[in-house]
Chain A
Amino acid sequence: MSQIAARQRLYRRKRSSIFHGFDPVLTAAVAALLLIGTLLVYAATRDWYARNGLDPQYYLKRHVINIAIGALLAYGTTVIDYRLLRAYTPIVWGLGVIGLIIVLIPGLGSEINGAKAWIALPGGFQIQPAELAKISIIIGMSMILSERTHDSDEPNSRDVLQALAVAAIPIFFILIQPDMGTVFIISASVVTIIAVSGSPTRWVVGLLLIAVLGGVVATNTGVISDYQIKRLQTFVDPTVDTQGTGYQLRQARITVGSGGLIGTGLFNGPQTNGRFVPEQQTDFIFTVAGEELGFLGSGLIVILYLIMLMRAFAIARRTSDPFGRLVTTGVIAWFAFQIFENIGMTLGLMPMTGVPLPFISYGGSSMFATLIGFGLLQNVHARSRG
């Protein structure tokens, strides 16, 4: 009797904890990635900034602030009532689309590396509306595909078309920027959500065919701009352009390869400290891990991602709520393809695009979005436990 009472007390204490509902393994994996990311951002910028008479902790401080804000957002997303989540989704979606339109207006959007993807804010901060768009697309599609307006247990073609419309509008604007990496990741999420929703198989197959066709047509008709073709070309043949894109890919590969088994030690990578790889605190941050932490450290990062994704799959399986399951698979696809695109690009497996590495790369919008994504996983997890 007293045992039961004790258990109840424990249970109550657990419930009252602010971490109630958090999946411990998932949380630990993400916390570890955030910690590693912080060290890597610091390692990527510290030496260069110090040598140029700037504050060596400039990026470190901002990164920690980003994580703090992101953590609050994640917490908020976790504990929020999902009905509220649904209510906010159209607003988030609308804001995302407006943001995507704003970045295209000259004078308001700022162009970095050939893509008009950012809105500059006072204080040197920038936001990338495409990141918010990812979340609103995932939630929006999940809503449409999980709520039946008809008798059938599964979404019919009309549902699928509605869901696609939700995705198509932001994708269209991101295409114009153009940010092919993000388009690729969102498309992968869209197809995954539709596949897992139980929609007719012809839609899944059809969308995959359209994706392939779209890629070919875009390359041939100039929808993809010159710099993107160059990036694709240099991916196929890194010797085409020795100073531009090919140079970056080659440097990235050399930097990762030179790390060997145990790496040069944190803060001690000469390639990193010499800044031979461009964008090494954002898109190419994995090179820092490769060089300074070696195969053991960078392999650990991939394993942590794998653990995180496996937990997310478990959450998707366990939940009885179709909406939760679709959100989870959407987030899984988003994370997984973004990880694969980013690390694959660094290792020379994927063409060069400007997507950040989830939980690790420096960058506010991406950090906020991925932590909100993490919050969504936790939210579904908490509700599935009931």
Chain B
Amino acid sequence: MNQRSRLSLLVVQILIVSLLVALLGRLFYLQIAAGPKYRDAALSIQSRDVVAPANRGLIVDAYGVPLALNKVGLAITIDRIEIDKQADKGVEVMQRLAKLLKLNYNDVYTNTRLCGELPIGERAGCWTGSRYQPIPITKEANPNIALQIVERPDQFPGVDAQPISIRSYPGLVNVNAAHVLGYVGPLTEDDLTKDTGKQYYRSESIGKAGLEIQYDSYLRGIPGIRTLIVDRKEAITRESQNTQPIAGDHLVTSLDIRLQAATEKALADAVMRGRANGYTSDSGAAVVMDIRTGRILALASYPTYDPNAFEKGLTVQQASDLFSEKKAVPALNRALQGLFAPASTFKSVSVVAAAAAGYDLNASYNCPSEVQVGTRAFQNYDSKNQGRMNMKKAIAVSCDTIWYKIAFDEWLRDGGLRPKENPNDYFFKAAQSFQLTQKVGIDLPSESRSRLADRDYKKSWFKQNKDFYCNYKTRATKAQQTPFLIQLAAENCVDGDKVRAGDAVNFSIGQGDTVVTPLKLTQMYAAIGNGGTIWQALIAKAIVKTDGTVVKSFVPNKLGTLTTAPSTIKFLQSALREVIVSGTGAGVFAGFPVEVSGKTGTGQVFGRNPNGTLKDDTSWFASYAPSKKPRFAVVMMVGQGGFGASTSGVGVRQIYEAIFGVKGNKVVPGAAIYPNGKPPTDLPRISPATKPKEAP
């Protein structure tokens, strides 16, 4: 062999060895370095999960009466694997089935298509699950029709009828509770991609609102999974895992279904009463709280919706109504999402402020028809001069001018428009002592934070609106260019960042930019009633397994205590009792056999309704009872409902009648919701068959 041949052979050898070594390197990369990635890819190619949803846990009231349970429906399902094998891909069978079920064939066709099989834009109604699950055409079939299908497999190959579990809100004793319970619905892409540390499957239902979403992780249980290994032709080669579904845990709430129903009715009646009296009365909320624990016994919001509509399949109309302004946004839970000026109910805060500022709560004060605040005269309610009275009486008759005077004096003492370095801010601090700007912490989603219009708020407000008011002529619309508004804008531009005399005066009677949720006001009145403890609002009492073992108990959580002197609280309690005895609440509670303490509120609202009318006053009634040994706080608010007493006060009385079992002016023995005067502490036995106790 000559030199050149030898060299060539060596070159060839080196080349070939490098090629094979390159193969080894590539093999190492694919199998070791990128192995896990390819293993996942392979798994998704080979395996198909068939999900058997777990039975969702029940939601029950404090006595075990079901508020949400699972109903057996009769589903007519189509097996895609089966019908695809038919010569016409199941067209004939589906046509026959549509005729039998009185459905549109096109709907049946669309319902049984995987979403990916349909062109984008025509996917409405497509099946979001997999090919391996029976696809439901209806969940509430007539048993006779179902029998026809099961008995004629030759006519309906690939079609089956089977019992299926659907979420149901039975609405015993006409309870609705939609805003508390929420509803369930199909998983969205968002739910699937959201990193919750939980595995969700496309065909499952998931809590969408209220307690259903709040406690979804307990209620949903663990779905059963059959993982099938398929081949290229999607034929099943074997089963790699098969886990049985584990039923979800039950949620015991502190609600009482009868009280909840009564509260809803009282609220709806109050709204109607407001309308009958000529007010717009478009919305409302009512809350009943156990003031010794903060537990919610009833919570209602008006208008409401049917929580069962979601499982039946929401029509486009139903879906758009939920958020329609015209329908007053039924989806909104006003008890914790509605923000309204608290009006005179806020005078309880002013009492605490006055006490802190050193005013003698037992002294007498003037209640003139108006008070001059700077250049402007602030009128008493109805411009009535009520003469000289003690402060208790002033609360009872809801005198405004006494508070104007105190608030204005304190504002001046704090330096007026040129505030001192460390202003006393008795009024703001009093509101803070009630934790006004902290959430009540209720176990429902999307609670709004109440707003305190203090000095910081003014500054941030000014920062956002300075440009608008300082360039009012160019920024505002034509309709806004009235001499009064231009003057106001000029004032706002000069000192909009300051708490002005008018702001301070308005604050003392719960008007202006300070707004609260009905739930926050309930928490505040509960704190007055129980001697100063601020409780976290809580609906859940326990999570209980299907076998009865308690998974989790929810214990009351003390958020804080009122810092004011016990004597001030005592005074407040006596004043709130006086409201019912001789004040603005006297008429409503005349002859009521249980002692109630409370405060009316009639809040002015600025702005117009969509139909152009001026907005009516917010009607408030905040209370607790029994006055001597307080246990329940009841607050009702009716948006644009007019007077506090006549609209909401009557509604609150109606709720107390249910709590204490009052008929006419008498307590009916055994009719009280809580036999020994307090909500139960023991957990109930849970059964979907539990019926509410009936009043004699």
Interface of A toward B, CB cutoff 8 Å: 47-48, 51, 153-154, 192, 195-198, 201, 204, 251, 253-261, 270-271, 273-276, 290-291, 294-295, 298-299, 302-303, 305-306, 309, 313, 316-317, 322, 325, 329, 332-333, 336, 339-340, 343-344, 347-349
Contact A261 B237 (CB under 8 A): no
The answer to whether A256 and B2 touch across the interface, beta carbons within 8 angstroms, is no
| Pairwise interchain contact A274-B23, C-beta atoms closer than 8 A | no
Interfacial residues of chain B within 441-471, with CB under 8 A of chain A in the complex = none
Between A and B, 11 residue pairs with Cβ closer than 8 Å are: A48-B231, A196-B12, A254-B45, A255-B42, A256-B38, A257-B42, A274-B237, A276-B46, A313-B9, A343-B23, A349-B22
**B residues 226-241 touching A (CB-CB < 8 Å):** 229-232, 235, 237
- Complex: chain B residue closest to A295, CB-CB: B31
Identify the closest chain B residue to A253 (Cβ): B30
Contact check, B45 vs A276: say whether CB atoms are below 8 A apart.
Answer: yes
- Using a Cβ–Cβ cut-off of 8 Å, how many residues does chain B contribute to the interface with A? 39
Contacts of A274 in B (CB 8 A): 45-46, 229-232, 237
B9 touches A316 (CB 8 A): yes
Q: Mark B18-32, 1 if CB is under 8 A from A, else 0.
A: 011011101110111
Cβ-defined contact, A154 with B30, below 8 A:
no
- Given contacts A273-B231, A275-B231, A309-B16, whether A317 and B23 have CB atoms under 8 Å apart is no
Task: Report which of B2, B23, B35 forms a contact with A344, defined as CB distance below 8 A.
Answer: B23
B31 interface neighbour in A154, A260, A273, Cβ under 8 Å? A260
Question: Does B100 have its Cβ within 8 Å of any Cβ on chain A?
Answer: no
Q: Which residues of B contact A348 (CB under 8 A)?
A: 26
Complex Cα–Cα for A298 and B20 (A): 12
Interface pair A271/B9, CB less than 8 Å apart: no
Q: Which residues of A contact B1 (CB under 8 A)?
A: 317, 322, 325
B residues with CB within 8 A of A: 1-2, 4-5, 8-9, 11-13, 16-17, 19-20, 22-24, 26-28, 30-32, 34-39, 41-43, 45-46, 229-232, 235, 237
The A-B contact count (CB < 8 A) is 141
Q: Report B-chain residues with C-beta under 8 Å of the C-beta of A290.
A: 27, 30-31
- Other contacts beyond A257-B34, A261-B32: 18, CB < 8 A: A192-B12, A195-B8, A257-B41, A260-B36, A261-B31, A271-B46, A274-B45, A274-B230, A275-B231, A275-B232, A299-B24, A299-B27, A309-B16, A317-B1, A340-B23, A343-B23, A347-B23, A347-B30
Residue of A at shortest CB range from B230? Answer: A274
Majority secondary structure of chain A interface residues (helix, strand, loop or mixed): helix
| CA gap between A290 and B235 in the complex, in Å | 23
Please measure, in the bound complex, the distance between the C-alpha atom of A325 and the C-alpha atom of B13, giving whole angstroms: 14
> In the complex the two chains form, is B19's CB within 8 Å of A340's CB?
yes
In whole angstroms, what is the CA distance A214 to B164 when docked?
A: 67
Q: Pick the contact of B30 from A192, A256, A302 — CB < 8 Å? A: A256
Q: Which of A260, A270, A303, A322 has the most CB of B within 10 A?
A: A270
B19 to chain A, nearest CB (A): 5
Q: Chain B interface secondary structure, helix, strand, loop or mixed?
A: helix
Chain A contacts for B230, CB-based, 8 A: 274
Which of A257, A276, A291, A344 is packed against the most chain B CB atoms within 10 Å? Answer: A257
Chain A residues positioned under 8 Å from B37 (CB to CB): 257
Q: Is the CB of A258 within 8 A of B41?
A: yes
| B-chain residues with CB within 8 Å of residue A198 when the two chains form the complex | 2, 4-5, 8
Neighbouring B residues of A154 by C-beta, 8 Å: 2, 4
Given contacts A274-B46, A343-B23, contact A306 B17 (CB under 8 A): yes
Complex: A343 Cα to B229 Cα, angstroms:
27
A261–B36 Cα distance when bound, in Å, is 11
Complex formed: what's the CA distance from A339 to B24 in Å?
A: 12
Chain A residues with CB under 8 A of B229: 270, 274
Tell whether, in the assembled complex, residue A258 and residue B12 are in contact, meaning their CB atoms are under 8 Å apart: no
Cβ contacts under 8 Å, B46 to chain A: 270-271, 274, 276
A344 CA to B235 CA in the complex, in Å? 31
Query: Shortest Cβ distance from A123 into chain B, in angstroms?
Result: 28
B38 and A254 within 8 A (CB): yes
Residues of A within 8 A of B8 (CB): 195-196, 198, 204
**A299: chain B residues within 8 A (beta carbon):** 24, 27-28
Residues A317 and B41 in contact, CB atoms below 8 Å apart = no
